[in-house]
């Protein structure tokens, strides 16, 4: 028995020694899946619990099966998301880092993990499509005076056609703004990114600098002009404001909407002090705005660039005319909107609006009742009866209506152009015609004043028999208020952009008169 017990014990001992202890330092064998591009069907709850109606609709269209089944299509999407930076967007908004990590181990993901990965790809693609079509931010959530309708985009249909039919790249391209300004802005972003690091010091403004002056600031100014390629590179720089610098400065001023006189004043110094990074941010902000704007401006339209102080009449993609305009002050901004012109009014009367009534008329008329006669304003009480200026009671100023008679002294001038909108604004002539000679023209109370508007009225009426220029002048001479409905369908787009690039590659910038660029860029990167 002892011998038998010894043999059993020995065999157990040897058996224990032969058992291998797992080597924790060795790599675990990873299971790989060969799905051969087949769709994985999953429970609809996986999607519905996310409470995303657009996402749920997409997978319902695909019978709750994965769609990003082939590595090639996932690779194409990932590259498109990376390229979102070329649109001024942030790739990390579309989970690029997470997608790249998941793709590296896609063959070893379980079915459940692959479903979650597929959903992540879809969410990212949907978001990017929407951002390209309507922008990352909604202007109505940012501004009270922006009235733009969202562009209609069926994200799910587009995405499905990109995965199973047309290429994803074509689908993404189809929702982007097609306007040349947007396309050139993308190139402007590339151009700015190609510039060297900006290490030039800030220029302090002391006094205006004129040609042939000597100034310690001139060397830094020359460096700025060379950085932006307004001036050829030079080996040696002097403090003299010479002819070559003067010529380059005028080009710089022209690109920035400044008086192109070569005089280096505060406005020019401010523009010179914009760094490459700040200009890049400005371009990014403007790219976002163009994604908000309508995709189809129409074949015949008038477009106003508020910070540019110009309007253009466009027909069949050709510029018919270009005119200077005066736009709203910062405290009385011109609203951003799209509409269609309805009628033109010659010899309009002008009823003083509430804001101007309180801030302008009340203090001036209280100081002197002669204000009403000087401005040719008639006072009406609530019954519609006229009130003499001496009987006007300032403390009850809201109970009256104030109407300025027609004529060249009228605040609206001799013509106004009406279009439906929520802000009671319109385009019009002005009695301050000298304002068009100013470089800074953010001077109105919200409406857009048009330089020399009668030729534009004649063009819009498009009736050489009944509304020739002679007939229009005759009507204006009568001072009789006359409204004429337009037969032509002419759209109006009042928009805001402070950066663009010309076809020749020149970068153009304008003063951000409503201080919107910096704040918008920050919100885009939040």
Positions marked catalytic = 428, 447
- DSSP notation for 65-81: B-S--SHHHHHHHHHHH
What does DSSP say about strands 336-340 and 146-147: parallel, antiparallel, or unpaired? parallel
Alpha helix ranges (H) inside 105-153 = 111-134, 139-142
Other CB atoms within 10 Å distance of the CB of residue 396: 9
Residues 115/43, Cβ–Cβ less than 8 Å: no
Alpha helix ranges (H) inside 293-430 = 354-356, 362-367, 370-374
What are the distances in angstroms from CA 96 to CA 58, 100, 111?
Answer: 21, 6, 21
For 400, the token pair is 């009256």
Q: Which long-range contacts (CB under 8 A, 24 or more apart) does 354-358 make?
A: 355/445, 356/445, 357/397, 357/398, 357/402, 358/397
Which of 286, 92, 267, 269 has the alpha carbon at shortest distance from 188? 286
Which of 340, 341, 334, 336 has the alpha carbon at shortest distance from 293? 336
Q: For residues 374 and 121, give the distance between their C-alpha atoms in angstroms, rounded to a whole number.
A: 68
Taking the alpha carbons at both ends of the chain, their separation in whole angstroms is 83
What does DSSP say about strands 300-305 and 427-428: parallel, antiparallel, or unpaired? unpaired
Residue 404 sits at φ, ψ, to 5 deg, of: -90, 135
- The DSSP bridge partners found for residue 483 are 345
Q: Cβ-count burial of 66 within 10 angstroms (0-12 exposed, 13-18 middle, 19+ buried)? A: buried
CA torsion sign for 317, 319, 320, 322 is positive
Q: What is the dihedral of CA 517, 520, 521, 526, to 10 degrees?
A: 160
Q: For residues 478 and 348, give the distance between their C-alpha atoms in angstroms, rounded to a whole number.
A: 12
Distance of CA 463 to the CA centre of its chain: 36
Q: For residues 460 and 478, give the distance between their C-alpha atoms in angstroms, rounded to a whole number.
A: 21
Q: For residues 364 and 377, give the distance between their C-alpha atoms in angstroms, rounded to a whole number.
A: 13
């Amino acid at each position: 028995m002892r011998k038998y017990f010894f043999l059993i014990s020995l065999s157990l001992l040897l058996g224990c020694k032969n058992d291998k202890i797992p080597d924790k330092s060795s790599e675990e064998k990873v299971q790989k899946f060969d799905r051969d591009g087949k769709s994985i069907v999953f429970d609809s709850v996986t999607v519905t619990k996310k409470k995303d109606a657009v996402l749920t609709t997409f997978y319902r269209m695909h019978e709750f099966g994965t769609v990003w089944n082939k590595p090639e299509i996932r690779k194409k999407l990932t590259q498109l998301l990376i390229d979102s930076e070329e649109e001024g967007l942030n790739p990390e908004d579309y989970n690029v880092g997470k997608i790249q990590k998941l793709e590296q181990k896609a063959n070893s993901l379980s079915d459940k993990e692959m479903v979650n990965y597929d959903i992540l790809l879809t969410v990212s693609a949907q978001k990017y499509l929407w951002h390209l079509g309507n922008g990352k931010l909604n202007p109505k959530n940012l501004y009270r005076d922006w009235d733009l309708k969202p562009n209609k985009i069926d994200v799910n249909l587009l995405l499905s056609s990109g995965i199973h039919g047309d290429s994803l790249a074509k689908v993404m391209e189809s929702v982007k703004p097609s306007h040349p300004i947007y396309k050139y802005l993308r190139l402007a972003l590339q151009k700015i990114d190609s510039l060297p690091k900006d290490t030039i010091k800030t220029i302090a403004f002391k006094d205006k600098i004129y040609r042939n002056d000597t100034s310690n600031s001139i060397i830094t100014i020359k460096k700025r002009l060379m950085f932006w390629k307004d001036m050829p590179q030079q080996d040696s720089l002097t403090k003299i404001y010479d002819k070559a610098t003067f010529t380059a400065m005028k080009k710089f001023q022209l690109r920035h909407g400044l008086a192109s006189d070569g005089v280096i004043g505060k406005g020019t110094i401010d523009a010179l002090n914009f760094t490459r990074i700040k200009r890049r941010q400005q371009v990014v902000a403007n790219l976002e705005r163009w994604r908000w704007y309508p995709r189809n401006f129409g074949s015949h339209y008038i477009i106003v660039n508020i910070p540019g102080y110009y309007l253009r009449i466009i027909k069949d993609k050709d510029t018919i005319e270009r005119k200077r305009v005066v736009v709203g002050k910062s405290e009385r901004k011109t609203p951003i909107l799209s509409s269609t012109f309805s009628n033109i009014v010659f010899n309009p009367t002008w009823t003083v609006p509430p804001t101007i009534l309180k801030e302008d008329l009340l203090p001036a008329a209280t100081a002197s009742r002669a204000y009403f006669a000087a401005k040719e304003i008639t006072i009406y009480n609530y019954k519609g009866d006229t009130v003499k200026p001496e009987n006007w009671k300032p403390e009850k100023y809201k109970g009256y209506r104030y109407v300025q008679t027609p004529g060249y002294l009228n605040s609206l001038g001799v013509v106004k152009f009406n279009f439906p909108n929520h802000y009671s604004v319109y385009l019009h002539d002005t009695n301050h015609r000298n304002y068009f000679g100013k470089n800074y023209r953010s001077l109105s109370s919200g409406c857009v004043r048009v330089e020399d508007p009668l030729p534009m009225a004649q063009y819009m009426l498009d009736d050489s028999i009944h509304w020739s220029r002679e007939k229009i002048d005759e009507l204006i001479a009568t001072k009789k208020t006359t409204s004429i409905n337009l037969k032509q369908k002419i759209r109006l787009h009042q928009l805001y952009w402070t950066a663009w690039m010309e076809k020749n590659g020149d970068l153009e910038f304008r003063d951000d008169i409503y201080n919107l660029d910096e704040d918008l860029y920050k919100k885009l990167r939040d």
